[in-house]
Amino acid sequence: MTVKQYLKQAYRLDALIDADLAELRELKQLALSVSSPSLSGMPSGGHKQQAPFVNPVQKIVDLEAHINSEIDRFVDLKTEIRSYLEQIQDNTQRCVLQYRYILFYSWNDIADKMGYTVQWIHQIHKDALISFSKVMKTTN
């Protein structure tokens, strides 16, 4: 795994959590919706059926547990990345990496925030990845 791939893990995990949260909202909406009763006129055969909201509720509970686990991984990963960033001596490089991989800013936003051109931010980023790689090698 390259340094860039390592750093992008937090962004990808954040996107997965967002997708899971969207799915959770849909499941909760489904659990709250009213379903129409089955009126076939035929006897049910004697076996007990679960209420229609039970299945979505269990899925909600399972998905919430999964999301909490992903959030824990996300927080741990960002903490790990931050610990490497703190070891980079150049504050400008550290700042670019933090804006990009901890706060998920766009290149334009980073350039505006730091008062540089996007092209210069890309050069700083390139140098920062080299610095980050050196820090990772000395730490591991």
pLDDT, residue 39, reads 54
User: Which residues touch 137 (CB under 8 Å, ≥6 apart)?
Assistant: none
pLDDT, residue 118, reads 98
Residue 90, Ramachandran bin (φ over 0: left; ψ between -120 and 50: alpha; else beta): beta
* pLDDT: which is higher, 51 or 74: 74
Is the CB of residue 94 less than 8 Å from the CB of residue 85? yes
**Percent above pLDDT 70 for the chain:** 85
Domain positions in the chain are 3-31+54-139
Distance, CA of 42 to CA of 139 (rounded, Å): 71
Distance, CA of 76 to CA of 98 (rounded, Å): 15
| Side chain identity at residue 20, one-letter code | D
- Give the global pTM: 0.76
